[in-house]
Amino acid sequence: MHEYTIAQKIIDDAKRNGEVKSITVEVGDLAHLSTRETKEILEKLTDWKVVVIRKQALVTCKCGYFGEPKILIHSHDNTIYECPKCGFSLPEPIKGRHIKLKEVEIED
């Protein structure tokens, strides 16, 4: 049920700006929720226009690789990824792990 907690935090942050009309949210490839899940839960809990932007993940690996990870599974609260160069299952994420409220459009 953490998706509701994540969504509620985004909703509360957006409401601090006034009467919300629409929001834009950035979702990293390695975030707890997928772009689809994030959009669905926010649309379920609000009557706002919800735009979700995918943020590409970047990792660094002990083999020297720096770039996008190979995502094997991205299901609800479970993302399994590896280095596409050597197959190491724990490359260090550099970006793409977060869900961020990027823009809020308020009523005039």
Q: How far is Cα 76 from Cα 102, in angstroms, rounded to an integer?
A: 22
Q: How far is Cα 84 from Cα 66, in angstroms, rounded to an integer?
A: 10
Predicted TM-score of the model (pTM):
0.89
Residue 42: per-residue pLDDT: 97
Residue 28: per-residue pLDDT: 96
Residue 76: per-residue pLDDT: 72
Domain that holds residue 54: 2-106
Q: How far is Cα 32 from Cα 22, in angstroms, rounded to an integer?
A: 22
What's the total number of domains in the chain? 1
Tens of each residue's pLDDT in the chain, 108 residues = 588 999 999 999 999 999 999 999 999 999 989 999 999 999 999 999 999 999 999 999 999 999 999 999 987 778 899 999 999 988 999 999 999 999 999 998
Q: How far is Cα 71 from Cα 63, in angstroms, rounded to an integer?
A: 18
H helices, E strands: number in the chain: 2, 8
Residue 1: per-residue pLDDT: 57
With tokens 């490359």, the residue in question is 91
Residue 75: per-residue pLDDT: 79
Residue 44: per-residue pLDDT: 97
The CATH number of the domain holding residue 23 is 3.30.2320
